[in-house]
Structure 1
Amino acid sequence: MTTWWPYARLAASVLAVAAIVAQLVRTLEIALVAETEWGGHLPTVVANFFSFFTILSNVAAAVALAVGAIWALTHRGTTAEPRWLALLLVCASTYMIVTGIVYNTLLRGIELPQGSTVGWSNEVLHVVIPLVMLADLLFAPRRRALGWSAVAITAIFPIVWVVYTLIRANLVIAPSTGNSWWYPYPFLDPRLNGGYGGVALWVLLIAAIIVATAAFVVWVGRRRGTVESAPTSPLEPAGERRGEAR
């Protein structure tokens, strides 16, 4: 598995990028054709596209898989992955697993405002890559165990994304409708959820899912991985111990 897993990571990364590009091209095609009718503005369309949690999570997954593969190919042996890479993989795995859960339980079948979707791309972004990240968590060799503080680190990006989304929403004119607001997902729109109180409930629910998923990801890593032990003196390099967490 150590031999071929990096290549599987690279293939999955390429697939994720292809799916993102395919959906972006379709979105831009629709925007260009309907520009007069919509009063569309391509920079806004592109910014909206990259404001979806799904897209950003898949970008993170593609980067994490590619970087992880390159690191493994250039560092042959039994050494566990470095801490920074372990954190990147924990974050990407958490976001993609949450994306798969939320989409397939709450959003599947709901028309989203990015326009017509590319069927295969939609399944790759919402099903295939989440499953790939889950498999990577469960089976990838040379994983490093992390302390529980990694759970808090995974929460930083979703918090920033929610704040960004709620602030930006009322500063953007939706290209497809002309509305003076734009939300990437229906559960973030206070007009559809009885006000910001309803939105807060959805945010808290998804936050709980993210924290629970991150805890699961970190727990699996602690069960499977190795971690650097603390050096006994400033001059002594850290070693590695199986199943020990910092």
Structure 2
Amino acid sequence: MAYLLRVGGSIAIVAAIVAQLQHTIRNEMSGKGEVSFVVQNFFSFFTIEANVLAAAALFVGIFTLSSRGAEARGLTMFRAAATTYMATTGIVYNLLLRGVELPQGTTVGWSNEILHVVAPVIMVLDWLIAPGKRPLNSKTLWGIVTFPILWAGYTLVRGALVLDPRTGDPWYPYPFLNPHTSPNGYWSVAFYVVLIGVLIGVVGAGILRLTRVKRRA
């Protein structure tokens, strides 16, 4: 079961990313032609970055299933981070962003569902059933939350400094991170950043807890 999840999941995620990227590029080429800009934007979405990490974790994990011992500690940490990001992506998307057209062009329906729903479920299931996880202590949580913090800082700085050449407006990957359109500007943005940060911390703590529960079992 774990083998099928990892093979099928990694293929599905890569196919979904490629399909959406190709559609985004074609859409831009038929419009303003700012292809390099929209490609940079595409890989600035936390969803895309989280799915790239998830596909890598699943793919590498395929080759560790044949081993009867525990996997390398670094791989368990990487899988824990990827699973946390994907679970958070699924929660945030379905609570805040479902039905909202994001600024990467028209979304590819099946790709969108894989990246935001199917892939998060696969990652959580893989974490629950796949053997070989190393027990991780709570200090690992700091490593897990570091990437989202850096991403949020990058997003806000880039949004303030880089203007969309097609519109002349600042570009942000998600509406709730745009201080120019949020009801209370940066206060609204700060609220959502803190809220999502807390969510990532809670999800990450739960993911880490499962490695110790599994060990005792």
CA contact (8 A) 2:5 2:126 kept: no
* Equivalent residue, structure 2, for 1:234: none
Q: Given the alignment, which residue of 180, 184, 187 partners 2:169? A: 180
Deviation at 1:224, TM superposition (A): 0.9
Q: Which has the higher contact order (CA 8 A, sep 6+)?
A: 2
Deviation at 1:169, TM superposition (A): 0.7
* Equivalent residue, structure 2, for 1:58: 51
Percentage of identical aligned residues: 47
Deviation at 1:7, TM superposition (A): 3.8
| TM-score between the two structures when normalised by the length of structure 1 | 0.84
CA contact (8 A) 1:170 1:180 kept: no
* Equivalent residue, structure 2, for 1:16: 13
* Equivalent residue, structure 1, for 2:118: 128
Alpha-carbon distance in structure 2 between the residues aligned to 1:7 and 1:139: 12
CA contact (8 A) 1:171 1:180 kept: no
Alpha-carbon distance in structure 2 between the residues aligned to 1:140 and 1:151: 21
Deviation at 1:53, TM superposition (A): 0.3
Deviation at 1:6, TM superposition (A): 2.6
Q: Which structure has the larger Rg over C-alpha atoms?
A: 1
Q: Which runs of 4+ in 1 moved over 6 A?
A: none
Considering only aligned residues, what root-mean-square deviation do their CA atoms show, in Å? 1.3
Count of aligned residue pairs for this structure pair:
216
Alpha-carbon distance in structure 1 between the residues aligned to 2:117 and 2:168: 31
Q: Given the alignment, which residue of 90, 93, 101 partners 1:103? A: 93
Gaps of 5+ in 1: 226-241
Deviations 1:151-197 (A, max 9, x none): 1111010001001001111222325x513310000110111222211
Alpha-carbon distance in structure 1 between the residues aligned to 2:190 and 2:173: 16
CA contact (8 A) 2:65 2:131 kept: no
Superposed counterparts of 1:74-85, under 5 Å = 76-77=67-68, 79-85=69-75
Counterpart secondary structure, 1:114 = coil
1:190 equivalenced with 2:179 (yes/no) = yes
* Equivalent residue, structure 2, for 1:167: 157
* Equivalent residue, structure 2, for 1:199: 189
Superposed counterparts of 1:34-49, under 5 Å = 34-35=31-32, 40-49=33-42
* Equivalent residue, structure 2, for 1:140: 130
Alpha-carbon distance in structure 1 between the residues aligned to 2:7 and 2:30: 35
Deviation at 1:141, TM superposition (A): 1.4
Matched AA of 2:104: Q
Farther-moved stretch of structure 1 (163-172 vs 53-62): 163-172
Deviation at 1:111, TM superposition (A): 1.2
Alpha-carbon distance in structure 2 between the residues aligned to 1:70 and 1:184: 34
* Equivalent residue, structure 1, for 2:104: 114
Counterpart secondary structure, 1:29 = helix
Deviations 1:3-23 (A, max 9, x none): x52343022101100000000
Name the structure where helix makes up a greater proportion of residues. 2
